[in-house]
Amino acid sequence: MSKAFVAKVVSANRLADGRVVFLESDRTRWSENFRVAGVWRDAESEAAALAAAQVSAAANIVLDVVSIEVTGEGDKLRPIALREYIRASLRPTVAPRMPDGFALDTTLGGGI
Amino acid sequence: MYRYDEFDAAFVADRVAQFSDQIARRLAGDLSEDQFKIHRLMNGVYLQLHSYMLRIAIPYGVLSSRQLRKLGEIARRYDKGYGHFTTRQNLQLNWTALSDVPAILSELASVEMHCIQTSGNCIRNVTADQFAGVAADEIEDPRPYAEILRQWSSLHPEFTYLPRKFKIAISGARQDRAAIQAHDIGLQIVRNDKGETGFRVHVGGGLGRTPMIGPVIRDFLPVEHLIAYIDSILRVYNLNGRRDNKYKARIKILVHEKGIDWMRREVEADFAARPDQRLTLPQADVDAIAAYFTPPALPARAAQSSASDARAKADSSFAAFRANNVMAHKVVGYGAVTISLKPIAGIPGDITADQMEKIADLADRYSQGEIRVSHEQNLILPHVAHDDLPALHDALAAMGFGEGNAGLVSDIIACPGLDYCALATARSIPIAQHISRRFGHPARAAQIGPMKIKISGCINACGHHHVGHIGILGLERRGEETYQLTLGGSADERSAIGQITGPGFSADEIVDAVETVTDVYLALRNSPSESFIEAYRRLGMAPFKTALYERNTGADI
């Protein structure tokens, strides 16, 4: 019996500023918002998303394209790996001692 | 401190122009990432978890107030208003846009700074004792030699593409505060029987996945041969170091596999085969560089400060600051003050733009405009009159850096870990924060005494965990963060690699495990004057291991 497919989201870093972005469901646009990422629930759609992402990489829009495993549905969707959870939250998990205007959540995953 | 001459300024300006052009070509699509990556790494630009990270070189940890002010300005204008001082005495900005790097490099060049060779397989920023030129136990100031090494190694055509990165550290004091034996080359300034200055040379130290303490390759290297001999070490490494496996490419592996005797023979043979003296250092040139580091003319002061003494009697916070954060200065009546970037529950090494600017102002007011960066991720004001200590402490406390915990349990080294770093396997900073909070009370920290806790978020060991009295290595196991504990490491003149206690601990357990270790120490020490590391050397691992695993809660890693 084949292993069950784990849903994926395709992520990368934007070339010009390095920020974490996610491929949206139209397989064209990239967003910093994990909530609008396209979720690929079978191998074919994941492959098509990765191919589209590589077109963006070749066009020098993004770099370091990766497919990340996710779990949950809708608002509960989240990356499985802590590393990707931290990337998707767009911030470190640690309580900051930062200047005004850069208030970080102190809880893991405050951004997603 | 050293000031750029016309050659230096043109050299850095050329490099800024060159790399700015490479960035423009990358952004325009004329360079692929594969083509560009080697250039960006040679110029300190990494792609980390959240963004690009820019690593700014602070040569041998020496900064002027003007430079620190500029770093604050850059952090505010181009980043998120803060930076992170590292174990390599560098400053990292975590949120740099690639498109802003040319502007940042131009700003840095305006204050004689750059990011050259802060990454890549080249000779990295030379590090040194943060108290260089100041410490009362100093044999000779190492900064002129560090500067000579910096000039020699910058864009060195033969050594720009080494098998792997190469780190040099230098200490001029009897007490090693630069962790020289954990470096590819460690230089200890010594005097021979004739009273001549030279270097004891260690080679093949390093941390990472294969930690090694660097053995001695030369007991006494005359100053005039410093560059020639290091040139020979680099050549032997460059020709013989492994390039087939990046994990076995550091010089420590070559020295370990071939042996120090083989290494010595090869280096001495290369050194002897090049008698043309092209690399012999003329004393006049050494003197010319040393002149940049002439100590400031500090006005004479009394050895004791009644103002400081009175304040210490009345204020325990100040008393702790004075006892722990003020180092003896060569000049009577002065001290070198460590500004602990380890506020209780803070992020080790992090500093805001505002704090950088305020410390620059304090350096101007109290320390001849000089600041140092330590590999322990703290800042130092090297020339503070004892009379000024109360006012300085007040100013530091007002900005959140008044903690008198230098060298104590909450003065923790921690790498950025999984909160920032693309290589990390677990978070480091939250563990440091929890430990700091647990042991944050000054009375408790004082009871435990000198203690070096060092935390790395992956096996690459940027947090120097192998040489922590207590070392913590964050790993990932079955999707969970797991922390391996080591004891007995040290990075001083008695350098040693810590021993793993046994199975690792979860994030929830690791702080308790550290507390168990300190409890065993407090129970078994001979007296309060026996430090943790001394007690560990006497007692060995056994009592700590028994206490740690008697509950058998460790995860098997």
Q: In A, which residues are within 8 Å of B424 by CB distance?
A: 83
**B462, B87 in Cβ contact below 8 A?**
yes
CA distance B26 to B24: 5
Supply the Cα-derived Rg of chain B in whole angstroms: 23
Strands (E), B204-356: 216-222, 326-328, 334-339, 350-352
Which amino acid would we find at residue B176?
A: D
Answer whether residue A38 shows pLDDT above 90.
yes
Nearest one of B10, B92, B87, B77 to B44, comparing CA atoms: B92
CA distance A92 to A110: 9
Indicate which of A11, A63, A97, A100 best probes the interface with B, i.e. most B CBs within 10 Å of its own CB.
A97
Going by pLDDT thresholds of 50, 70 and 90, the confidence category of residue A112 is very low
Q: Give residue-wise pLDDT tens across range B97-144.
A: 999 999 999 999 999 999 999 999 999 999 999 999 999 999 999 999
At B43 the three-state DSSP class reads: coil
Nearest one of B261, B256, B140 to B195, comparing CA atoms: B140
| pLDDT at residue number B274 | 87
Q: Looking at chain A, which residue has its C-alpha nearest residue B52?
A: A18
Distance, in angstroms, between B51 CA and closest chain A CA? 4
- Distance of CA A53 to CAs A43, A86, B46, B277, B292, Å? 15, 21, 22, 57, 53
Half-sphere exposure of B78 (CA within 13 A, CB side): 27
Distance, in angstroms, between A110 CA and closest chain B CA? 13
ipTM: 0.92
Q: How many CB pairs under 8 A join A and B?
A: 89
Which amino acid would we find at residue B129?
A: D
Contact across the interface for B27 and A60, Cβ inside 8 Å: yes
Distance, in angstroms, between B506 CA and closest chain A CA? 14
Indicate which of A64, A82, A85 best probes the interface with B, i.e. most B CBs within 10 Å of its own CB.
A82
The β-bridge partners of B484 are B473
Instruction: Tell me what percent of the residues of chain B surpass a pLDDT of 90.
Output: 96
| pLDDT at residue number A84 | 94
Q: Which of B27, B28, B429 sits opposite A94 (nearest CB)?
A: B429
Q: Give residue-wise pLDDT tens across range B337-393.
A: 999 999 999 999 999 999 999 999 999 999 999 999 999 999 999 999 999 999 999
Segment B328-338 mean pLDDT: 97
Indicate which of A56, A78, A83, A93 best probes the interface with B, i.e. most B CBs within 10 Å of its own CB.
A83
| pLDDT at residue number A1 | 53
| pLDDT at residue number B553 | 52
The β-bridge partners of A24 are A37
**Owner of token pair 């969970």:** B480
Going by pLDDT thresholds of 50, 70 and 90, the confidence category of residue A2 is low
Q: Looking at chain B, which residue has its C-alpha nearest residue A97?
A: B346
Answer whether residue B541 shows pLDDT above 90.
yes
Burial grade of A74 (CB within 10 A; 0-12, 13-18, 19 or more): exposed
Q: Looking at chain B, which residue has its C-alpha nearest residue A32?
A: B50
Q: Give residue-wise pLDDT tens across range B188-239.
A: 999 999 999 999 999 999 999 999 999 999 999 999 999 999 999 999 999 9
| pLDDT at residue number B223 | 96
Going by pLDDT thresholds of 50, 70 and 90, the confidence category of residue A104 is very low
Q: In A, which residues are within 8 Å of B49 by CB distance?
A: 20, 83, 86-87
- At residue B547's C-alpha, the angle toward residues B546 and B551, to 5°, is 95
The pTM assigned to this predicted structure is: 0.95
Sheet containing B216-222: order of strands: B127-128, B168-171, B185-191, B197-203, B216-222
CA distance B341 to B371: 13
Which residues fall within 8 angstroms of residue B535, CB to CB, at 6 or more apart? B521, B524, B525, B526
Answer whether residue A109 shows pLDDT above 50.
no
**What are the b/e assignments for B447-460, b being 16+ CB within 10 Å?**
ebbebbbbbbbbbe
Burial grade of B552 (CB within 10 A; 0-12, 13-18, 19 or more): exposed
Segment A73-78 mean pLDDT: 87
Q: In A, which residues are within 8 Å of B476 by CB distance?
A: 82
Nearest one of B156, B207, B213 to B181, comparing CA atoms: B213
Lowest mean pLDDT among A55-59, B273-277, B522-526: B273-277
| pLDDT at residue number A91 | 87
| pLDDT at residue number B557 | 45
Answer whether residue A65 shows pLDDT above 60.
yes
Q: Looking at chain A, which residue has its C-alpha nearest residue B354?
A: A99
Contact across the interface for B427 and A96, Cβ inside 8 Å: no
Nearest one of B126, B145, B109, B153 to B60, comparing CA atoms: B126
| pLDDT at residue number A110 | 33
Q: Give residue-wise pLDDT tens across range B22-76.
A: 999 999 999 999 999 999 999 999 999 999 999 999 999 999 999 999 999 999 9
